[in-house]
Amino acid sequence: MSEFLMFAGVVIGVLMIFRNFILGARCKSKEKLHGKTVIVTGSNTGIGMATAVDLARRGARVILACRNQIRGEAAVDVVKRESGRKNVVFMQLDLASLKSVRAFAEIFLKTEKRLDILINNAGVYMQGTTEDGLGLMFGVNHIGHFLLTNLLLDRMKACAPSRIVTVSAYLHNFGNLDFDCLHTHKEFGVGESGMDVFWIYSHSKLCNVLFTHELAKRLQGTNVTCYSLNPGFISTELARNTNKMFRRLLLKPIAALFFKDVQSGAQTTLHCALQEGIESLSGRYFSNCAVQKVKAKAKDDALARKLWEVSETLSGLS
C-alpha cells in the first residue's frame, strides 16, 4: 500500500510539474492604470475577458468591445465583480462589418478622452462571409482590427506613451498569403473542410504578425508601440463552431491536460500591454511573455507593405 501511495505521489508530482510548464510564464508587471483607458475586443469570453479583468483590477477604465450586446453587457457585470472595479463599460463592435467598426470608432472618439492601450483580441475560427463580402476569418481577424487601429491611432498618439497589442497565434507559422486568391475570393484560401479552415485561419494569423511588423515602422517617433503575440494553446470558446463530437471526444480530454486556462492564456497579452522596458521591441512577436524569433515570411518588409496597401483598399482607408 505504501509503495502504491509513493508511486501515486510521484505521478501526481510529475503531472503538476508538467501542468505548470504548460501554463507557462506569468506577466510580472506591477503597473497600475488609474486614469488610463483600455479597449479589449472580443472581451465577453475567454482570454479577452481574463485580460479585461486584470486591467480593470489595475485601475483602468476598460471598454469591452463586443459584437453581441446581451453577452457584452453580461460580461461587464462579470468583469466588475471579479475585478472589484466599476469603471467597465460595453460598446458594441462587430468586426465583420466595416460600418460597425467605423461607428464604434466615431462614438468612442466622441465620448472618451483617452486611449492608452488597444488590445486586438477578438478572433473567429469558422468559414463564412463578412457583411462586406470578405472571407470571415480574414475580415474579422485582420481587416476589422486593421481598420479599428487606424481609426483610433490619432487618439493613441495624443495619449502617448500608448500600446497596441494584437493577438495572433502559433499557427501563423503555417500561413501563406496568396494575393491572387485574395483578389478572386476576398480571402487567402477557399474550401469548407476541416483542413481548409485550419489553413485559412493560419493565413489570418500571419496577417496579424505582418500587420504589427509594418505598423511599428509607421509609428516610429510617435511613442506608440505595438506587439503581436501567441497566447498559447488555450481552452476557450474559439473552437465552439467545430464538430460537437470532435470537441467532446478529442478536444476536451486533450485540453484538460495540454491546454492553458484563460488566465494563463492572457499572460502574454498582459506582458505586451504592461511590461516596462520593451518599447525597443515594438513590432516584434511574443510568446510565453518573451520576444521570439519568427520565420522570414513573418518579417518580410515587402510582404507586410503589400498586405498593408491591400488592407487599406479593402477597408476603405484609401
Positions annotated as catalytic residues are 201
CA–CA dist 34, 148 (Å, integer): 24
DSSP lists the bridge partners of residue 164 as 118, 226
What is the distance between the alpha carbons of residues 280 and 144, in angstroms, rounded to a whole number? Answer: 27
Burial group, residue 120, by CB count within 10 angstroms (0-12, 13-18, 19+) = buried
d(CA 251, CA 192): 20
Rounded to 5 degrees, φ, ψ at 209 are -70, -45
Question: 291 with 285: CB under 8 angstroms?
Answer: yes
What φ, ψ does residue 133 adopt, rounded to 5°? 85, 10
CA dihedral 115, 212, 268, 114 (to 10 degrees): 0
What φ, ψ does residue 197 adopt, rounded to 5°?
Answer: -60, -40
| 3-state per-residue secondary structure call for 34-54 | CCCEEEEECCCCHHHHHHHHH
Phi, psi of 61 (to 5 degrees): -80, 120
Helix (H) or strand (E) holding 165: strand 162-167
Sign of CA dihedral 251, 256, 260, 262: positive
Give dist(CA 120, CA 254) in Å, integer. Answer: 27
In the numeric block, the cell 503589400 is attached to: 306
Q: Are 80 and 53 in contact (CB under 8 A)?
A: no
Three-state DSSP at 216 gives: helix
